[in-house]
Amino acid sequence: MSKPTMVLLHGVGLDHTAWDEVSALLADDFEVVAPDLPGHGTNPPAPEGTTLSDLADGVLDEVPPGSHLVGFSLGALVAQYLAVHRPGLAATLTSVSSVCRRTPAEREAVLQRLSVAESDFSASATASLRRWYDDTDVVPQAVQRTRETLMGNDPSSFVNCYRVFATGDAEVGPVLDRITIPALAITGELDPGSTPEMSRRLAEAIPSCRVVIVPGARHMLPVERPRELVSALTTFIEEEDTHV
C-alpha cells in the first residue's frame, strides 16, 4: 500500500533544508515532498512585483492531489492560498507558525522589518535569527545552518518575497472561510511574530480548524521542536482519517 504524500513549504529566506529533521521523522509513514519556493534555494531570484499567487503557482506541480499540505510562516500563506484557490487539491491543511489577519500594530511592525531588509539585508538576517532563536536550546550548529541559508539569498529576491510575507495575510485572510478541508494551526507559545492569537484567528476563520500551541517554543518549530510538530501533525491526520 502506498504511503500518503505530505508536502512541506518553508518560510521566507529559507529552503527545503529547514524541514530536514521533520522530514526524517515523517519518512516511515509519508512520502515527503519539500520543494523550494520561487526565489529560494537553487531557484532563480524572485523578481520585483512577485505575488502570493506567483509563489503558489511555482510549487503547484509539486503538490499531488490528495496531499497533506503543510506550510511554515510564508509557506503557510502559500498553502492557504492553494487551499482557497485550488479546492480539492489537498486532503488537509496545516499552518505552522502562521500569521493571520494582522492588526494595524502588527502590520506596522512587519513593515518596519521589511524596511530594514530593504536598507540592510545583513542586519535583517541577524535580527531574524535573534527573533527566532534567542532563549531557545537550539544547538549553535543549527542556528549557523539557518544563518548560512539566509545569507545565501539574493538580497533583492529576499526583499521581494518578504514583501509577500508582510502583505499576503491581507490578501488571503478575507477568503479563509472558503477552505473546506480539515485544518490545523500550530505555533509556539513564545513566537513574537506568528503569535498564538494569530493561530486562534485562523481557527476562527477556517471552518474546520483546530489549534495547537507548543509550550515554551518560539518561531522555528521545524528546527526547535520537530518532534512536537510531527506529533501534532500525525495526531491531526490520524484523527481526521478516522472521521472519513
**Tens digit of each residue's pLDDT (9 = 90 or more) over 144-199:** 999 999 999 999 999 999 999 999 999 999 999 999 999 999 999 999 999 999 99
Q: Which letter, b or e, does each residue of 85-121 get, where b requires 16 or more Cβ atoms within 10 Å of its Cβ?
A: beeebbbbbbbbbbbbbbeeebbeebeebbebbeeeb
Q: What is the pLDDT of residue 136?
A: 95
Q: Is the distance from CB of 182 to CB of 208 less than 8 angstroms?
A: yes
pLDDT in tens, 124-135: 999 999 999 999
Q: What is the pLDDT of residue 189?
A: 98
Of 3.40.50.300, 3.30.70.20, 3.90.1300.10, 3.40.50.1820, the CATH number of 5-243 is: 3.40.50.1820
Please check the confidence at residue 242 and state whether its pLDDT lies above 90: no
Q: What is the pLDDT of residue 2?
A: 86
Q: What is the pLDDT of residue 86?
A: 96
pLDDT in tens, 74-122: 999 999 999 999 999 999 999 999 999 999 999 999 999 999 999 999 9
The residue among 69, 164, 156, 68 whose CA lies nearest residue 118 is 156
Q: Is the distance from CB of 83 to CB of 69 less than 8 angstroms?
A: yes
- Confidence band, pLDDT 50/70/90 cuts, at residue 66: very high
Please check the confidence at residue 226 and state whether its pLDDT lies above 80: yes
Q: What is the pLDDT of residue 240?
A: 85
Q: Helix, strand, coil proportions of the chain in percent (round to 5)?
A: 55, 15, 35
